[in-house]
Each structure stands twice: as C-alpha cells, then as structure tokens.
A = this chain, B = another copy of it.
Amino acid sequence: MVAAEAGVGVGTVSRVLNGSPQVREATRHRVLAVMTELQYRPSRVATSLSRGTTRAISVFVTFLTRPSVVQRLAGVITVLDAKGYDTVVFNIETAEQRDRHINSLANEAHADGAIIVSLPLARAQLEAIRVRGLPVVVLDAESPGPPRFVVDNTAGGQMATEYLLSLGHRRIAFVGDYSHPDLAFTSAQHRLKGYTVALTLAGIKPDPDLISMMPHSGSAVDPRGMQSALALLDIPRRPTAMFAASDVQAIGLLHAIEERGLRVPEDVSVIGFDDIDAAGLVRLSTIRQPLEESGAIAARKLCELLDGGRPGRRRTVLPLELVARATTSAPTNVSSVNTGATKRQTVPAAAGQRASRPAVRARGPTGGASPSSATHVWREPA
C-alpha cells in the first residue's frame, strides 16, 4: 500500500480507512495527508476479496422499461442504496440472457445476494441457486424455494370485474396479452381467470368474443394488438366496459377508444391493473398493486437474510386494492348497440365530462371468491 511509504504500517492505514478509533489523531492526520497527496483511492475489489463480501446485489428484471418493472426496481435500489449496497442490474429480454445470467449467478461468486423480479425460473435453475446457498428473494413470480412476494392476480382480476359488475355492466371485455414466447409470464392469464370467475359467480357466461389477447408485449404495446382489441368495439352488442390486464394496455385502449369517437367512461368504461405512475396522470381506474413498495420489501428481506436472518415465510401475498378514478362509471346507455356496419358512434351531445363524477376507491384485497369486494368504496384524495 503506497500510503504505507509515508511513515506508518499498512495496518494503521487500514485502520484510518475504516475509521478505527484506536489511532492517534496525529498519525491519522499524517496518513490522511499522504493519502490526498498521493491521490490514493482504496480499492473496493481488494476490500471485497479480503473481507469476503462484495456489498453488491444482483438484480434481475425482465423488460426493464415496462413501468411496473422499473418502479419495482426503483424501490429495490432505494433500499439497497440506503443499506450501503451497490445494485447491479441485469435486464432479461430473452431466454438466452436469462439462462446465461442465472447460470453465472449460480456458478460464479459475484454478489452477496440476488433479487429476481417478474422472472419465472425453471426448477433446475432454482435448484442450482439453492445449492450454492446464495441468498435470493423473488418478486412477482411463483418460483418455489426462496422467499417470494407476490400478489393474487386471480383475485385482482376478480376485483376488477366485480367492480364493473357492481356498476351495472353486464357485457365486459377482457384485453390481455399472451405470455412472452421465451419468458413465461403468467399474470395476465391469472387475471383473465379472475375475470371469468367473477362473471361466472354473477351468473354471466364468459363470452369468448369479448376476450382479446394481443401478442406478447415486450416493453411497448404492439399497436396491431391494439387494433384487434379495438375490434371488440365493432361487434354487435358492443361491451360497455373493458378490463385490461395492465395499465399500459389500458392507456392504449383509452386513446384508441376515443379515436374511434367513443367516450370514456360514458360509452365504455375502462379499468386497468398495476396503478403505475401514469395511471394517476390519466385518471385511470385500476387495480393497484404495490410496485416501488414491493421492491423495497423484497430488498429489505434480502438484507435481513444477509444479516443472518431467517428466511421466514416462504410466500408473502401483498395486498391489492381497487382504485376507482375517472375511467369507470355505470353504463349510461345500456341499450347502446352498434348500428351494424357503422363503426363510429356519434358523440352524444349531452355527454358529460370525465372529471365530473366523484372517484371512489375500495380498500383491501378480496382474497376469496366473495363478490363483495367492490362494495366498500372510498374516495380517492385526488
């Protein structure tokens, strides 16, 4: 260590570096002086090697630019940063990337731990990681083994649908996307399931013509997928409400609907899922799941493990809540049907404005199959 050339031994320099109280002020100052003089920069790597800990966490995300993902990541980074950890981010968009990086996670000593966000892993991969004893926590995926934090997407789909039902809607469409060809997301499927459950419980037979699945959405939504979703508005007895499996899709819908000359929510109600930042911006009704907060929770759990804490419960279900904003209302004109080939609906002259109706919000997740979830509503502060 170069600083040792300045009078003292390496031990003392180390002590100064780590602010050990057992160094005389005089020598400490001398060392400090030499350090700045020599432009000395302690090597993080050497420290890590010596201490056997990197103070770095690997975080795996899928399609980083999706708002829900990046909000989760932000929560993770905030907590990790506060605890003094560096966050190394891996953005997984293909199976190849996933396998390569998960493999390297298991087979190389990189970081002190890992957080895996919205990325389902194969059993073998989970096992490979488990064997290494690397502390891992999983967020938004059902990967058995590490502690994981999830929401009940089926219950969420049910909540959304029941809310629309409670408003008086009977013809409710579902707009989702297929899981990515390589990576196997399942949330949309579960939300769809919740939708069918809710309809069935209400005595309504789910109509396949009211269900539109777009091709997988990488980060942005495929505009062509939006087209096919819009086709739902052209069928006879057009739906009076639409439930989109994500807020991003819902926002796309909102605009497409209005371009079609229809009004939201007067002509058709729209509800999304996630409550990303933009949802509030466009006053979208949605099912809220913790995003930043879920990242923070996962990061805190990992830090616990790193501090020698017990894994605790293997699976934690985070709460969902209905946030009713301005894109949902009772169907204003239940008898509204398409006039055959006429694609565009004339705008009713008396059409009100969206903001005029008070927004409500329901608290707490539904949990079971009870259709009561959408009944206790609460006004949103906004």
Interface residues in chain A, defined as those with a beta carbon under 8 Å from any beta carbon in chain B: 39, 41-46, 48-49, 54, 56, 64-65, 67, 70-71, 73-74, 77-78, 81, 86-91, 97, 106-110, 131-132, 219-221, 223, 226, 248, 251-252, 254-255, 258-261, 277-278, 280-283, 326, 344, 346-347, 349, 351, 353-355, 382
A selection of 6 A-B contacts at a CB cut-off of 8 Å is: A39-B132, A41-B107, A65-B67, A81-B90, A248-B281, A259-B354
- Closest B residue to A277 by CB, please name it: B220
Give the number of copies in the complex.
Answer: 2
Shortest A258–chain B CB gap in Å is 7
- Residue pair B67, A73 in contact (C-beta under 8 Å): no
- Closest B residue to A291 by CB, please name it: B65
Which residue in B65, B109, B110 is a CB contact (below 8 Å) of A277? Answer: B65
- Residue pair A49, B43 in contact (C-beta under 8 Å): yes
- Closest B residue to A35 by CB, please name it: B107
**Taking A41-B107, A89-B88 as contacts, is the C-beta distance between A281 and B260 under 8 angstroms?**
no
Instruction: Report chain B residues within 8 Å CB of A382.
Output: 223
- Residue pair A67, B64 in contact (C-beta under 8 Å): no
- Residue pair A88, B91 in contact (C-beta under 8 Å): no
A130–B208 Cα distance when bound, in Å, is: 63
Shortest A344–chain B CB gap in Å is 6
Instruction: Report chain B residues within 8 Å CB of A347.
Output: 347, 349, 351
Which residue in B90, B109, B355 is a CB contact (below 8 Å) of A42? Answer: B109
- Residue pair B252, A282 in contact (C-beta under 8 Å): yes
Instruction: Report chain B residues within 8 Å CB of A77.
Output: 64, 89-91
- Residue pair A88, B86 in contact (C-beta under 8 Å): yes
- Residue pair A354, B258 in contact (C-beta under 8 Å): yes
Instruction: Report chain B residues within 8 Å CB of A109.
Output: 41-45
- Residue pair A65, B74 in contact (C-beta under 8 Å): yes
- Residue pair A221, B281 in contact (C-beta under 8 Å): yes
A78–B353 Cα distance when bound, in Å, is: 44
Beyond the given A226-B281, A278-B278, please list 6 additional residue pairs across the A-B interface where CB-CB is below 8 A.
A43-B108, A44-B108, A45-B109, A74-B91, A77-B89, A251-B281
A54–B47 Cα distance when bound, in Å, is: 13
A299–B245 Cα distance when bound, in Å, is: 34
A77–B220 Cα distance when bound, in Å, is: 18
- Residue pair A282, B132 in contact (C-beta under 8 Å): no
Shortest A345–chain B CB gap in Å is 10
Which residue in B39, B89, B346 is a CB contact (below 8 Å) of A131? Answer: B39
Instruction: Report chain B residues within 8 Å CB of A283.
Output: 255, 259
A41–B277 Cα distance when bound, in Å, is: 41
- Residue pair B87, A88 in contact (C-beta under 8 Å): yes
Shortest A231–chain B CB gap in Å is 14
Shortest A214–chain B CB gap in Å is 12
- Residue pair A64, B74 in contact (C-beta under 8 Å): yes
Which residue in B41, B91, B248 is a CB contact (below 8 Å) of A81? Answer: B91
4 closest A-B pairs (Cβ-Cβ)? A220-B277, A255-B282, A259-B355, A259-B354
A347–B354 Cα distance when bound, in Å, is: 13
**Taking A65-B74, A77-B89, A87-B88 as contacts, is the C-beta distance between A349 and B351 under 8 angstroms?**
no
- Closest B residue to A261 by CB, please name it: B353
- Residue pair A259, B353 in contact (C-beta under 8 Å): yes
- Residue pair B81, A70 in contact (C-beta under 8 Å): no
